Amino acid sequence: EAGVTQFPSHSVIEKGQTVTLRCDPISGHDNLYWYRRVMGKEIKFLLHFVKESKQDESGMPNNRFLAERTGGTYSTLKVQPAELEDSGVYFCASSPPGTSGYNEQFFGPGTRLTVL
């Protein structure tokens, strides 16, 4: 079974440009999450989709970030325009249907975003 995949693995852009990150969850996983790790700091929650609906977007830092999950399959996270402080590793995770607090979340390898 394929795991969570993310694309690209690494992106280098200039301040003011736009970048779109993609996440493909494990097939059949209704829950999809985005997290971010800024260099040396903790991994922070950004948002949670259940199928195509945003269940919790309390962690989104500002309106320069837009997440979508059309059709309830893959998700994209767009940053427009990118700022220097957006640099970090963006992780995507998925979990099976249901909201049990015991459910493991399966993480992708992350996308390393560098804004110059």
Partner 1 sequence: GNSVTQMEGPVTLSEEAFLTINCTYTATGYPSLFWYVQYPGEGLQLLLKATKADDKGSNKGFEATYRKETTSFHLEKGSVQVSDSAVYFCALRRTGNQFYFGTGTSLTVIP
Between 1 and 42, CB nearer to partner 1:
42
Q: 1 or 104: whose CB is closer to partner 1?
A: 104
Task: Give me the least distance between CB of 76 and partner 1, in Å please.
Answer: 18
Per-position x/- string for 19-48, each x denoting binding to partner 1 as judged by CB under 8 A, each - no binding: ------------x-x-x-x--xxxxxx--x
Strand segments (E) across 1-116: 5-7, 10-13, 19-24, 31-37, 43-50, 53-56, 65-68, 75-79, 88-95, 106-107, 111-115
Q: Stretches 10-18, 68-76, 77-85, 89-97: which one binds partner 1 (CB under 8 A)?
A: 89-97
Q: Is the peptide bond preceding residue 25 cis, with omega within 30 degrees of 0?
A: no
Q: How far is the CB of 38 from partner 1 (least distance, A)?
A: 10
Block residue for tokens 């110059």: 116
Is residue 61 involved in binding partner 1 (CB under 8 A)?
A: no
Tell me the residue type at 67. A
Q: Which is nearer to partner 1, 82 or 88 (CB)?
A: 88
β-pairing, 19-24 with 75-79? antiparallel
